[in-house]
Amino acid sequence: MKCVVMTSSVDKNLPVSPTVNGVGKKGAGSSYIDVEDSSSWEISQFSFPKQYQGFVEKVMLPHGLIVDRIERLAQDIVTDVFELESTPQTDVVTPRLTWEQVANSKHHTALNHPRLHVLCILKGGYKFFSDLMDCITRLIRSIGLIASVSVDFIRVKSYMNDQSTGKVNIIGGDVLESLEGKTVLVVEDLIDTGRTMETLLNTLKDYKPARLLVACLLLKNTDKRKSGELKYWPDFLGFKIPDHFIVGYATDYNEFFRDLHHICIVNDAGKEYFKQQVPAEDAQTA
């Protein structure tokens, strides 16, 4: 399957283009697709559920493009985490490691083969996590890699005074002490300011993982990010997107639109129709 993100030349008519995030990071995680503010498609150009017609302004990212990009992210992650080699000409990872190479691999302890522990941040990250894990496990099998991959699920809430304590409330997940010595990959669907993610990573560092990485599907290009005030970037990024209110691909608006395959811009009618209703007994005091 052809991947749009690794081409050396860009068709000027395409609404998205490959770029480098500019943070000076070497390795697989340094590339992403930059979605311009004017880039979008009409919903009439796609198969679209009737219950959401009239409530979405545009399609920002079609489902097929999302899936293709995730396949590429999986390859980048496996190449980086398991220390494989690839060439720019073929972009193919080393097909098999010897047992000696695996046993001597850096960043992994306790077992004599690489260990990757993937933390999915719920709720919005479940779809991205599911598709990404399918690609990662399929790739590991296809190249004959001896590796251990474990998963867990958490929800994250910042304390009201998180700026002073530097902590977040991690809900769910097994014993976090088990992260010690492992390569931990945090999977998130959308990063806005990045402050909660930075605080989460600082908290997870207390559990002494060997490496701590983040794979994010969407990063919002807000005015503060454009000005340089927001500097956080994930290690692996799918798309940098304009600062719009988006839904679809498990990203919701009041728990609606999660079942929409495409990532879309919700319109004012959608915000009004699906807004959270105030209970009658609370309406007078709201």
Which residues are known to be catalytic? Answer: 192
Cβ(77)–Cβ(185) under 8 Å?
yes
Of 4, 81, 18, the C-alpha closest to 235 is 81
Rounded Cα distance between 73 and 216, Å, is 10
Cβ(31)–Cβ(5) under 8 Å?
yes
**Angle subtended by helix axes 63-81 and 126-142, to nearest 10:** 50
Amino acid (1-letter code) at residue 85: E
Rounded Cα distance between 99 and 172, Å, is 35
Of 64, 23, 180, 192, the C-alpha closest to 115 is 180
Contacts of 55 (CB under 8 A, 6+ apart): 266, 267, 269, 270, 273, 274
Tell me the CB-side half-sphere exposure of residue 179, using CA atoms within 13 A. 24
Amino acid (1-letter code) at residue 268: D
Q: What is the CA radius of gyration of the chain?
A: 20
